[in-house]
Amino acid sequence: MAWIELHQTIWEHRKTVMLADELELDEIYAAAHMAKLWTWALDNTKDGYLSRLPNKVIAFGAGWRGDPDLFVRAAIKAGWFDETESGLYIHDWVDYAGKLMERRSAEKERSRKRREAQKNSQVDQQTTIGQPPVDQQTTIGQPPVDQQTTIGTVPNRTIPNNDDDRARARPRFVETYEQEFGNLISPTDMQMLESFVKDGMDEEVVCEAIRRARTNNVLKMRYVTSILNDWFKKRVTDMAGVSRADLEFEQQKAKDGPKGQARAPTGLQALEEWASHE
């Protein structure tokens, strides 16, 4: 039975939030549509390449019964689909299904070798009458090859530099988190923040979101990710982008005035307020 890797963060991932926002449905259903698409793709587009398929078929694979063009556009905008010069692909498809593809390829190779071995088994088992098999023949006074050893030969071994590996494996935002929050970051939270960096955000932007959570005295990862989700939606990737987003927020706030500030929050703003009061 085929399977894919599914992270527990899928239900609150920023891309899921954005897809839900674009399709105007709950996050749990947005995540379910993507999970449905991934499992369908295992048998229908094994390389994750979508350009050979019409949007109607892609939407069907995701279990989406609405406008297929809307679904594809929403998935692209949310970052679940990648538009490249060579076409449309499922984002990070190798991460989701790469291991399965490798296992399938390895199993095909093992099956081929088994068939080849069976085909040649009769030939391999034949020996010359009165003569022992080749693997039992030895030179007089010389032990069999499998009993020979090379004395004094030790393979070269590279001593791993664990300190350097640990330094590279520890992102800068982890130190910021532990300084501002006063506790160790969990593997799940670290994976969540790493995904923002992987998708193009500078580490300093992630650090800034952590610092703002501390400034607002809301020491919750949901609050940090809600800030990052908002920036991600606005295509913020560096601190210059953060400054632009802050300026736009202040300008909109001044434009709305007291009446606009009193309106009920919507979308990612509502998510941020919910995260801060949870």
Residue 273 lies in a domain: yes
Q: What is the pLDDT of residue 107?
A: 64
Between 129 and 61, whose confidence is greater?
61
Same domain, 183 and 88: no
Closest CA to 34 of 64, 65, 69, 3: 64
Q: With respect to residue 89, please indicate whether it lies within any of the assigned structural domains.
A: yes
pLDDT recorded at residue 105: 62
> Total domain count for the chain?
2
- 3-state SS, residue 177: helix
Q: How far apart are CA 224 and CA 271, in angstroms?
A: 11
Arithmetic mean of pLDDT, 212-241 = 91
Residue 17 lies in a domain: yes
- Judged against a pLDDT cut of 50, whether residue 159 lies above it is answered with no
Both structure tokens of 164: 């350097």
Q: Which residues pair with 84 in a beta bridge?
A: 87
The last residue of one of the domains, among 50, 68, 95, is: 95
Judgement on whether residues 90 and 176 belong to the same structural domain of the protein: no
What integer pLDDT is reported at residue 278 of this predicted model? 53
CA distance 167 to 108: 39
Domain-located, residue 125: no
Residue 214, domain member (yes or no): yes
Tokens of 219: 């020491």
Q: Same domain, yes or no, for 89 and 181? A: no
At residue 263 the predicted structure's pLDDT band, cuts being 50, 70 and 90, is very low
| Structural domain ending residue among the three candidates 95, 115, 135 | 95
Distance CA 202, CA 209 (A): 11
Cβ contacts of 244 within 8 Å, gap of 6 or more:
236
268 in the same domain as 177: yes
Q: Quick check: 276 pLDDT over 60?
A: no
Domain contains 255: yes
Residue 200's domain is classified under what CATH number?
1.10.10.630
Report the alpha-carbon distance of residue 87 to residue 82 in Å, rounded: 8
Q: Are strands 87-90 and 81-84 parallel, antiparallel or unpaired?
A: antiparallel
Give pLDDT, residue 113.
76
Are 88 and 179 members of one domain?
A: no
Measured at the alpha carbon of residue 104, what is the angle toward residues 100 and 107, in degrees to the nearest 5?
135
Model's pTM, two decimal places? Answer: 0.51
Taking alpha carbons only, the member of 17, 10, 6 closest to residue 274 is 17
Give the mean pLDDT of 52-61: 96
- Angstrom distance (rounded) from CA 48 to CA 269: 33
Residue 253: inside a domain? yes
Share of the chain above pLDDT 70, in %: 68
Domain that holds residue 181: 171-277
- Each residue of 65-116: pLDDT tens digit? 999 999 999 999 999 999 988 899 998 887 666 665 566 566 667 777 777 7
44, 75, 95 — which closes off a domain?
A: 95
Identify whether 152 is part of a domain.
no
